[in-house]
Amino acid sequence: MPTADAEIPLATEPSSMAERVAAGGPSILEPPLFSNYQYTPPPPPPRRKPDFGDCLLFAVLAFGGSLCSGVLVLAAMHFHLLGVSTYKQANEEIHYRIGAQAGWYILTLLFCVVIFPLVWRRNFFEGLQWRANAAKGRLGRLIGAATACFVAAILDQFVMPGPANTPIDQTFRMPGAVWLLFGFGVTLAPLIEEIAFRGLLLPAVCTGVDWLRSGRGV
């Protein structure tokens, strides 16, 4: 018989889920933490454009533009435009020389404007990240830089004159050659050169260098 002074043990709560189940408690276990979590890998980075494939496409289009320009020159010779009927005369005629190169550049640009949107799914100049508005905002600086380069070229001619009677000097003596070269040199020539080198080749080289540095080129 227990005495009056004997302590009656108090019922305690089971300290673990296993003890609860053994004691007749609920058998539903709590789900582990993050049981419903599913890892979703990040999407792959977008393919950087332009790349070397775009440079190759530009080279193909430029070659096509050169062929088409040659066909136009042959057509002009066939109709004796400006009195030219032979290749030698066409090579010595400044209008044919500048016209052939200008036609090459214009046709190449037209091909790019038509073909590249089919590949990029975006406008050609948008794909090149053309920043015409940024150039407009810096128009004063650009004009100042061009003026400084012009003055430097004039001073260089007086300080360190080149040899006399060079081919370019002979070209400048042709009627209308100065204005043709000036118009071509400030419009089509820099436009196509910037598109080819800064717009296409430079981003492609940067993409290739980053690819090699990341270890994926090993």
Q: Give pLDDT, residue 208.
A: 84
Q: Which residue has better confidence, 96 or 133?
A: 96
Instruction: Name the token pair of 177.
Output: 């050659």
Give per-residue pLDDT as tens, 10-52. 455 545 555 555 555 555 566 667 667 777 877 776 778 899 9
Dihedral angle sign, alpha carbons of residues 113, 118, 123, 126: negative
- In whole angstroms, what is the distance from residue 149 CA to residue 144 CA? 9
C-alpha dihedral, 72 to 201 to 53 to 58, nearest 10°: -10
Q: What angle, rounded to 10 degrees, do the helices at 52-78 and 202-213 form?
A: 160
Cβ contacts of 119 within 8 Å, gap of 6 or more: 54, 57
Q: Report whether pLDDT(216) > 90.
A: no
134, amino acid identity: A
Q: Which helix (H) or strand (E) holds 108?
A: helix 94-120
CA–CA separation, 102 and 100 (whole Å): 5
Q: What do you get for the CA distance between the two ends of the chain, in Å?
A: 87
> Which DSSP helix (H) or strand (E) runs through 217?
none
**What's the length of the chain?**
218
Q: What phi and psi, each to the nearest 5 degrees, are found at residue 24?
A: 90, 15
The per-residue pLDDT for range 86-130, each reduced to its tens digit, is 988 888 888 999 999 999 999 999 999 999 999 999 999 998 988
Tokens of 155: 């001073």
pLDDT score of 1 more than 70: no
Domain layout of the chain by residue ranges: 52-130+163-196
Residues 172-197 have a mean pLDDT of 87
The model's pTM: 0.70
Which residues, including other chains, have CB under 8 Å from residue 64's CB and lie 6 or more apart? Answer: 107, 108, 111
